Each structure stands twice: as structure tokens, then as C-alpha cells.
Chains A and B, each alone.
Chain A
Amino acid sequence: MFTLILQIALGIMAVSTLLYVIRVIKGPTVPDRVVALDAIGINLIAMTALVSILLNTSIFLDIILLLGILSFIGTIAFSKFLEKGEIIENDRDR
């Protein structure tokens, strides 16, 4: 019963990811796409968690943490790129 619920949840997450992908593809502006990508990252976290419950293992917990960090960094990087045109600024004085 519990497995079934988990699988349904996974299915829902997958469908939601698919919808986000549609947003990534269609998204009229770039920020739309970036936000969709960020959300996909969060979805991935959820799915990894569900899979690791389903597989009855704790080895994927690292991935969850990493994904959280990466999706944050990625979104920040994109945002900065969209705003300033570059990600890492150097030569501040200039």
C-alpha cells in the first residue's frame, strides 16, 4: 500500500517535471525558463527522496543535499548572468 502511494507520488512528480519542461521549452522569456529549471531541481530533490524511500536506502541523501545547493547556485548564476551579463566579475576597481 505504502509502495503504491510512493509510486503514485513519483508519477505525479514526473508529470509535474514534464510540465516544467514544457515551460522551459515554451517559456516566452528567459527568466521563465530559469525559474522552471530551478523548479525542476526542486522536483528532482523530491523524486530522489521518494526513490530512496522506495529503494529503502540512505545513500541518496547526499544527492538531495547536493541538488539543493546546486540548484540554488545554478539559479543564482543564471540570474546574475541575466542581470549583469557575466557570472564572475573581476577587476572591481575598473
Chain B
Amino acid sequence: MQLLHFAILSPFVFAFIIPFLAKYAKRVHTGWFVLILPVLLFIYFLPMIRMTQSGETLRSVLEWIPSLGINFTVYVDGLGLLFALLITGIGSLVTLYSIFYLSKEKEQLGSFYVYLLMFMGAMLGVVLVDNVMVLYMFWELTSLSSFLLIGYWYKREKSRYGAAKSLLITVSGGLCMLGGFILLYLITDSFSIREMINQVQLIAGHDLFIPAMILILLGAFTKSAQFPFYIWLPDAMEAPTPVSAYLHSATMVKAGIYVIARFSPIFAFSAQWFWIVSLVGIFTMVWGSFHAVKQTDLKSILAFSTVSQLGMIISMLGVSAAALHYGHTEYYTVAAMAAIFHLINHATFKGSLFMAVGIIDHETGTRDVRKLGGLMAIMPITFTISLIGTFSMAGLPPFNGFLSKEMFFTSMLRVTHVDLFNVQTWGALFPVLAWAGSVFTFIYSMKLLFKTFKGNYQPEKLEKQAHEAPIGMLISPVILVALAVSLFFFPNILSYSLIEPAMNSIYPTLLDSHEKFHVHISQWHGFTAEVLMTLGIIVVGTIGYLTMNRWKGIYKLFPSKLTLNRLYEKLLTIMEKGSYRVTKQYMTGFLRDYLLYIFAGFIILMSGALVLKGGFSFTTEGMAKIGIFEMILTLVMISATAATVFARSRLTAIISLGVVGYTLALFFVIFRAPDLALTQLVIETISVALFLLCFYHLPKLRLKKKTRTFRMTNFIIALGVGMIVTLLGIASSSQRTKDSIASYFTKHSHDLGGGDNVVNVILVDFRGFDTMFEITVLTIAALGIFSMIKTKVKEEGKSGE
């Protein structure tokens, strides 16, 4: 157990302490205690950059279930460290922000910070763990803690709905991913991602390659809110704003991106990976940005924007897979570089935007753009934050979003040159879609900014008198936007420290050991196609924003019945109703139906087993002769049985049953079982008397002496069961392979058991345990009957048993 293990587990440990702090240190906002941890962790992770920069990695094993190969293996490389820094860094800022956002008096701070810390630890585990099973464990923990955080205001119905929806979708994706991991384990016989990468040749040729890939991608796509699984993200906006900023923009939704990047070395050389990842990504980007424009709630705009930006990152990751097929790496790996760069940029500007929206919500009481306006003069700092955030999101200089968007266009343009995987025909689609998506991104960014801060101030529509936020709330977004600006001017502080090691871990096989990725981000490439595209976006986007009222009608072309949310709801209702109907169909509540199922199942299973295992080999060898006396007795028994079945009155049936029992006793006599015959006679008499008792006590009302109605199914089932049992009896007696152990008992009953009655010696001596528990059974039955008769507890109101 190293310090690194403890670093991952420390949030969980801390989460145990928080409730006590929240309860006993009430004067201080609990968030201040929590803040210490992510800051410490950030400081702890920061120096590791030097290690990953020189291409080294850190790996340390803590055995957990070594017999199954499941170990808590921590592995720090460029990619993991980048995410760890994001998680702890943004985690610190969000905690600081939440201190001022959540009120000490009104909210249950203890549970909030426990969930938040749980999430932080789980997320650190996801990105720093090498064992897929442990990764899956942390993955589900992020889903769970996200569920708790979304449903934080559990008294609101919408919160509960959003929480349940996100849990359903992300957990089903997570389960798919578990399936993928297990398939990978079956191929490589190892749970370690390192090991899997080493065996990539084996995986590539395996039949399970495609299923494993698709299952893992399903997990990644559901978590990262890709089409069509993005629907949970807008509903997750019911969470408190710090949660939205942290989970649903900067960290959790990037877990899917992490998994895609992490498994790139294993899957990326296949055409399927290239197509699925890049197409889903680019389509999600366009779809998300298109739908973001029509939203009126600020957080919904940001949610759809997150969906779109995640799609953008994922499409770049998919496209960069082309690099594995071409020697000249730099030309295509620029996509991976852009993906990582945009990942960082997105975390900065989206985090700050969410916080800004939180401030607006906090200070005005609404997030509806139709009610807001003219806040520029009232909230100048928030306006500046939002301006930088939105301009960066739209991809305008001088903010970091501009750089990554330019690189995005570069990579999308370069895909058109790829002549692998039949890209030529559809390659042109990528830049066109990318451009269209960016235009919509521009439009909603402008809408977000100008509808909120420009226009007329409408105090009558607001719940509170708008004013600037307290300074504490502004610190975190200011830090983030400061990063957004400085990353534009000095992007290369990232390139060698974070981006290059991360690329190394995405494509470890691409370079020789001494080579390095050439990562250099410059603000100005000259007058290239990308710049023209950006200019086009600004022009078209501005026109589009100004004329938005004219083309708004386009959204009405999408009927509200055909949305994915509708599909989700319908699917849930259909599943609920359908399963209810199916259950209702066979759970009739009638014992006769259940017996029918049981017997039919018995017939099918037994006959199947007999047919498949060749049970039909009958011999008459070793069978005894049948005398005329036995035959007649059999006839007696058969006719008495028939009389029981066809009897008109119940009394006849009881008497016939008595005949059957007595004849059976006679059979015991013939087959030389005196003890059995004795017992059988007594028991038969008693049970006939009991039957008479029951018969007498039948309720008067329904005492109609009806004959049994004939039912064909019952007849067939009864016939089938009888035949199967008969066949089984004959088959088992004619296929006896070993002698019975009876000879031992007869030989030794006198000298070992001290008795000559072998049956009784077996009952009380050789196998006395059976007898003991038979006695117990009888005792229980007697006590049961006694208590049933004597203790009549009548339930009030309900009809008791």
C-alpha cells in the first residue's frame, strides 16, 4: 500500500469523517474542511508531471483478490495524470464555489459533501487504476454518487426523475462495459490493461474482438452522453449547480472519453472503431449543438453544449485512429492532440460557465433566458466570466477554445485525405458536419451571453433584486477563465507537460522509445482553410443569431412525439406494462394452472432427457414372473383408481381410494414387506377417516355434487406424466448397473444391529437419522394442526386465511 493508493482512497476515508464534522462543527461551513483534501491531492499529483514527461510511468500493486487476478493496481501515466489533475483541480474550485453557493442553514451539507467526496474518490480510481475489474467498480461508484448528487434535493420530483434516468442509462452502459471487460479477460486471460495492450495481436485476431469493442464503447457512450444516450444529461441539470459544473461538464462525462482513449491501443486499428467512434462523435456534436439553440433554460443550453463538445472530443479521438495505419504520424495524431487539448479547454470554460449560470440563478432566482436580460451593468464580473467562457466555447480568439477548434478543423480536414476504411466516399462529411455543428455552437453561445446580459432588465419577472455575487463565489470561475485566457497565449505550457505524455499513453506503439510526439500549438498558422472556416462560422453564426426568430420554426419540424426522451419514456412504460401483462398472463392465482406448468415442464424435461441420453433401452432380463393372482389384484387396483377418478360423488371417491390403499397393503404382503403392510393399513384407515372429516365439513353453500368436467389439456398432461413415470421406471430398472447394498444389511443386521427384523434395524440403527427427522416431521405436523385448530387469529377487516 503506497501513498498513491491512499491518495485514491483518501476521499472515501474523508467521507466517513464529514458527517461528524457537519454535525459537531456547525459554526464553520463544512465545505472548508472538504476543500483541504482536493487541494492537497492536486499538490500531490502536480509534481508527477515531471515523471510522465520523461516517459516514465508509476505502477504499484495492492493485492485485493489475488486468486482471481483482481488487484488494486495503480498505474500513473500521462493520460491518467491529466485526468487526475483535472479531477482534483476542478474539484478544489468546485468545492470552494459550493461553500458560497450552498447555504449553511438550509442545506444538508453533510450528505452533499459525502456524496461529492465519494464521487471524487471514485473518479480518481477510474482514471488511475490498471485493473479493469477495479476500474469497473469505481465506474459504478461514479454512477452511484452521481445519482445521489442529482437527487440531492430529493423532495423535488424532477430531481428524482433525473436521478433515476441517469442511473438507469449509465448503469446499463456500465453493465455492457463489464461484459466487454470480461470478454477481454477471456481473450487475454488478464485483467490488467497493460497486459491487454501487450497482447494486442491476440485480441485483434479473436472472434470476440468486435463484441468486446462494442460493449466497451456502449459503456463509454452512455457515460459520456453520446447519441442516443445523451438524454440523461439535460435531466441531470436538476442537481445543484456545483455538481453540474463538476460532474456533468468537467469530470464524470469525461470518464467515457477516458475509456475510449485508454482502450485506443487495443481497438483503434480496426475500421469499426474508426467509424463508430468518429461518426457517433461528430453526429452527437451536430445534434447537441443544434438542440442547444432552442433551449430556454441556461443550464439546459449548457447541458446540450456539453453533449456537443463531448461529441467533438470523441470524434477527434476516433479520427486519430487513422494514424495507426500511416507512417507519418504527426499528420493524423494532431486529432488526438486536439482532443486532449480540447478536453482541458472544455473543462476550464464549461466549468466557469456553469458557475456563472449558478451565480445568475443564485442572484436572480431564475435561469430562464426569457426572463433575464440587461444584467451586464448589474453583474459586471459575472458578465466578464460568461463572455470569456462563451467566446471560448464558440471558438473565438483570444481564448483557448479558438486553438482547439482550429485543431479540430485541421483534423477533420485531414480525414478527407485518409484512403483507408472506404473513407474517400464519406470523408467530406466530416468537415461539413464539423463546420455546421460549430455554427450552431456559435449561435447558442451568443444566445447564452446576449440574452442574459444584454437587452432590457426586467425586474418584475425576477424573484430577487439582481446584484453581483459575493466575492467567494467569483473566485473559482475567475481562476478558470484566467486559465482559459492564458492557455490561449501560452498553450505550450501544456503541450510538453500534459498533452504529449497523454498522447503517449493513447498511442504507445506508434513511436519508438526515444522519439517524441511533436506537439506545438501556435496561435497563427498562416492563412489556412481552418481560419477561413472560423471566419465563415463568425459570419454565418452572427447572421443566424440575428435572424433567429425567423428560422426558429425549424424546431417545430421535429414532432415532440418522436424525441428520444419520448422514446425512453415509452420504452419504460412498455417494459413496465408489458412485464405486468406477461406476469398477469401466467400468474393466474389458480393452483391448477401452476400445477399444469410444473407437470408440463416435468414431461418436457424428462422426455427430453430420455430421448437425448438414450434412455429407451428396455430389457426384460432379470424380471420376475407374473402370476394370475397378481394380475387380478392389479386389475382390482386399476379399477378402483378409475373409480376414484370417475366417481360421481366424493364419498365414492373416498371409498375407492380406501380400496386402492388396502390393495396396496396386499401388494406389500405379496412382495413380502410385513412392516410396510402393517403401517400402510393403519395409515390408510386413518386417512380415509380424515377424508371423511374433510368431506363432512365442506361448506354447505357450494355443496353441489358436480361431476368433474373433462378438460383435454389436463387429460393430456396426466397421460403424459403417467407415461413418463412408467417409462422412467422401466428404463431405470432395465439399466441397473450396480448391485444394491441390501445384501450388506441382511448379512449384518444381526451381528451389528442386534436384531433380526432387517427393516426395523435399518430404521433405528443403520439409518436412525432419517427416522429421527421423520419423527420431527410428524411432531411438527401434529403441533401445526393443533395450533391451526386452537389459535384462531381473526384479522380485522381483511378476510383471514
Residues of A that sit less than 8 Å from B by CB:
7, 10-11, 14-15, 17-18, 21-22, 24-25, 30, 33-34, 37, 40-41, 44, 47-48, 51-52, 55, 57, 59-60, 62-63, 66-67, 70, 73-74, 77-78, 81, 85-87
Contact = CB atoms under 8 A, between A and B. Distances in A.
B511 interface: no
Contacts of A81: 692, 696
Contacts of B689: 74, 77, 87
5 contacts: A7-B627, A18-B639, A21-B643, A30-B652, A37-B659
Contact of B639 (A11, A22, A33): A22
Q: Is the interface of B mostly helix, strand, loop or mixed?
A: helix
Closest 3 CB pairs of A and B: A14-B632, A25-B643, A10-B629
A11 B632 contact: yes
B604 interface: no
Q: Is the interface of A mostly helix, strand, loop or mixed?
A: helix
Contacts of B693: 87
A51 B669 contact: yes
Interface of B: 627-629, 632-633, 635-636, 639-640, 642-643, 647, 651-652, 655-656, 658-659, 662-663, 665-666, 669-670, 672, 674, 677-678, 681-682, 685, 688-689, 692-693, 696
Contacts, number: 99
A25 B645 CA distance: 11
Nearest to B629: A10
A14 to B, nearest CB: 4
A46 to B, nearest CB: 11
Given A18-B639, A37-B655, A44-B662, 6 more contacts: A17-B663, A21-B636, A40-B662, A66-B678, A74-B658, A74-B685
A87 to B, nearest CB: 6
A21 B639 contact: yes
A67 B681 CA distance: 7
A34 B702 CA distance: 25
Given A60-B669, A60-B677, A74-B685, A14 B692 contact: no
B628 A11 contact: yes
A48 B666 contact: yes
A87 B689 CA distance: 8
Contacts of A87: 689, 692-693
Given A10-B629, A44-B662, A74-B685, A24 B655 contact: yes
Contacts of A60: 669, 674, 677
Given A7-B627, A21-B643, A33-B655, A14 B662 contact: no
A40 B688 CA distance: 15
A78 B659 CA distance: 14
Contact of A25 (B639, B651, B674, B685): B639
Contact of A63 (B640, B655, B663, B674): B674
B652 A25 contact: yes
A24 B692 contact: no
A70 B696 contact: no
A33 B643 CA distance: 12
Given A11-B628, A18-B639, A25-B652, A63 B696 contact: no
Given A14-B636, A25-B656, A37-B659, A55 B672 contact: yes
Contacts of A78: 692
A71 B629 CA distance: 22
A24 to B, nearest CB: 6
A76 B696 CA distance: 16
Contacts of A21: 636, 639-640, 643, 659
Q: Which of A62, A74, A81, A87 has the most CB of B within 10 A?
A: A74
A67 B636 CA distance: 18
A17 B638 CA distance: 13
Nearest to A13: B629
A24 B656 contact: yes
Nearest to B689: A77
A63 B628 contact: no
B666 A37 contact: no
B501 to A, nearest CB: 93
A7 B636 CA distance: 17
Contacts of A85: 696
Contacts of B629: 7, 10-11, 14
Contact of B696 (A10, A59, A66, A86): A86
B370 to A, nearest CB: 84
B692 A44 contact: no
Contact of B674 (A37, A59, A74, A77): A59
A30 B636 contact: no
A66 B636 contact: no
Contacts of B628: 7, 11, 14
A83 B659 CA distance: 22
Contacts of B677: 48, 60, 63
B636 A17 contact: yes
Contacts of B678: 62-63, 66
A41 B682 CA distance: 13
Contacts of A14: 628-629, 632-633, 636
Given A25-B643, A40-B659, A44-B665, A15 B674 contact: no
A92 B106 CA distance: 75
A85 B695 CA distance: 10
A63 B669 CA distance: 9
B667 to A, nearest CB: 10
A18 B696 contact: no
A34 B659 CA distance: 11
Contacts of B647: 25
Given A25-B652, A77-B689, A41 B662 contact: yes
A29 to B, nearest CB: 10
Contact of A51 (B636, B651, B670, B688): B670
A31 to B, nearest CB: 11
A10 B503 CA distance: 98
Contacts of B656: 24-25
B692 A77 contact: yes
A34 B663 CA distance: 16
A24 B672 contact: no
A3 to B, nearest CB: 11
A15 B573 CA distance: 68
A70 B658 contact: no
Contacts of B639: 18, 21-22, 25
B666 A44 contact: yes
Nearest to A59: B674
